[in-house]
Chains A and B, each alone.
Chain A
Amino acid sequence: MQPMLSMRSVSKSFGHVQALIDVDLDIAAGEVLGLLGDNGAGKSTLIKILSGVYYPDEGEFSRSGDPATIESPADARELGIATVYQDLELVDTRPVAHNIYLGREPRKWVVFLNRRKMEIEAAELLKRLNIELPSVKVNVDLLSGGQRQAVAISRALAQGGDILLLDEPTAALGVEQTEQVHRLVKSMKQEGKAIVLITHDLSEVLDVADRVVVLRQGRLYADSRSSDTNLNEVVGWITGAAPPRLSKAEALT
């Protein structure tokens, strides 16, 4: 199957530091990809390149087979890449519905906000994703961490994201709230979205992700179906104790 997003030979350095070296990656529709690596392995650099914050020194991208360029966050948005950052970027003082449609509010007579439509659509979106909230009219600062994360992810979807980059979505959450986010990831997967999950929680990855990709010192170190590996091996990849495995990437090229 044609990958939704491919990157080939992507490299990026900051001064003398080579953050990413010759990385190939394919992201497929309906797939949850767990992106792993120690601190400084290049995860955030990779995410920032995909979301248009950094521009790579070398490398090519294609979106559903067509060559694409990602030179700015606007380009990334255009390609349907939506990033949900750790710090969430929600507007605490605004209701759920406005947070979801921020920057893309439905309008009436050009200048007026179509609040009704916005609230109905937000409620429908949340329902579709099985997110339970008291009301879309509630300010975001009254929500729990899991609910906030759910709103942030809903926004990424509402803004037309097909490829979702989730940066540590469960880092600050409790068990129940983490479960909530995992359910949400699963329902997005069923909708055919591609999801890149960055996390430190290894058992989470093996549980939720279909595939794990490990970066080590800026290079692609392992790329495996999660069903073909185990926790020990993944830890080995991250620390470099286990030999690299790039089965899937090789199969694709």
Chain B
Amino acid sequence: MITALRKRVKAQGDWTLLGLGATLVVLIVYFSIASPYFLATRNFVNIGQAMAIRGLIAIALTVLMISGGIDLSIAAMAACAGMVAASLIMEGMNGTLAGLIALVAAIGLGGINAFIIIKLRITPLIATLGTLLLFRGTAYVVSGGDNKAIGVNTWSWLGRGRLFGNNLPISLVVFLGILIATMFFMRFTVTGQYLYAIGGNAVACRNTGVKVDRLRSSAYMFTGLLAGFAGLALMSQGGVAQPQALFGAELDIITAVLLGGVALTGGRGSLLGTLLGLLIIGIINNGFILLGLQVYWQQVVRGIILIVAVALDSFRRGGGYR
């Protein structure tokens, strides 16, 4: 019986990551053949840059969803943070300081989510659907619906900077750096392992003395922080803060995270999976543009990917046995 169990464990093992890796290879091969522009360095820089900003948010969302939470207000928080920074800069505040204040504000927005979910005991999905409207609406109110153009500023390096002869976007480097640091944190620290355990069974964790509420709050605030950082990067990229920034991006980001193998029910998943999920979606988007397909097809395909991702999730859970 025990050998049977071993086999099962092995079989379950890294199936998700292997599957994602294989999908990625297939996509790369296909688009390389289908489009002569796909394999160019410049195209990969584009894919990387497009991925970096959403990827920043996906990192935090991965951590949050592993801990059993979810946040639909991610893109709205990013828009708010960009708006705060741009408004302060337009008031004449020092750019660096304005950016830091925006980040603190974004952490505060994450704190509001945490408060509503943990103290008021409202399910995360509904709570953050509410704050999505609340935060997005606030961004519109604050801006009066207008864009705030600030041009080149002290944060421009983040959105526009390139390294190695203009080939490597700094935003991509920052994204990968934070990704690796977070991977390390989740894998090797007790706190990171607690986040996994809380997603698996929060009651059991609480009963053994784990500070469940504090850790869950921290995960929401971390999500606020990285969403705010993404908002700042986006603002610096265009030199403009828009109230509609990243509108609808939450669905893309959640899709990437789910596709990467994070369980909707929490407790399972990895940042490496999220990276692969982001790459797959990024390459599909890019490939479709190169192939000259109508933009609307992207939405159709994203919808399909989201359904596939969730189906894979329930499939994986059904794979276990008691």
Contacts and interface: CB of A to CB of B under 8 A. Distances in A.
Given A102-B208, A102-B210, A159-B208, A93 B267 contact: yes
B193 interface: yes
B204 interface: yes
A13 to B, nearest CB: 25
A172 B209 CA distance: 27
B95 interface: no
A98 B8 contact: no
A134 interface: yes
Contact of B268 (A90, A93, A142, A143): A93
A15 B2 CA distance: 51
Interface string A197-217: 000000000000000000000
Given A89-B204, A103-B208, A141-B320, A134 B193 contact: no
A231 B13 CA distance: 49
Contacts of B268: 93
A59 interface: no
A111 B191 CA distance: 7
B262 to A, nearest CB: 11
B322 A145 contact: yes
A93 B200 contact: yes
B100 interface: no
A113 to B, nearest CB: 5
A138 interface: yes
A112 B267 CA distance: 19
Q: How large is the interface on B (under 10, 10 to 19, 20 to 34, 35 or more residues)?
A: 20 to 34
Contacts of A138: 5, 9
Interface string B202-218: 01110111100000000
A105 B190 contact: yes
Contacts of B190: 105, 107, 111-113
B188 to A, nearest CB: 5
A91 B5 contact: no
B193 A113 contact: yes
A73 interface: yes
A73 B210 CA distance: 13
Interface string A127-158: 00000101100110111110000000001000
A113 B189 contact: yes
A98 B322 contact: no
Contacts of A139: 9, 320
A8 interface: no
A188 to B, nearest CB: 19
Given A74-B209, A113-B189, A134-B2, A142 B197 contact: no
A94 interface: yes
Contact of A113 (B188, B209, B263, B267): B188
Contact of B196 (A93, A134, A144): A93
Contacts of B6: 134-135
Interface string B175-211: 0000000000000111111001101110111011110
A160 to B, nearest CB: 12
Contact of A92 (B189, B200, B205): B200
B248 to A, nearest CB: 31
A104 interface: yes
Nearest to B321: A142
Contacts of A144: 322
Per CB-CB distance, the 5 closest pairs between chain A and chain B, nearest first, are: A103-B208, A93-B267, A93-B200, A91-B200, A89-B204
Given A90-B204, A113-B189, A141-B321, 7 more contacts: A89-B201, A93-B199, A102-B210, A104-B208, A107-B190, A112-B190, A134-B6
10 contacts: A77-B209, A91-B201, A91-B205, A92-B201, A94-B200, A98-B197, A111-B190, A134-B5, A138-B9, A142-B9
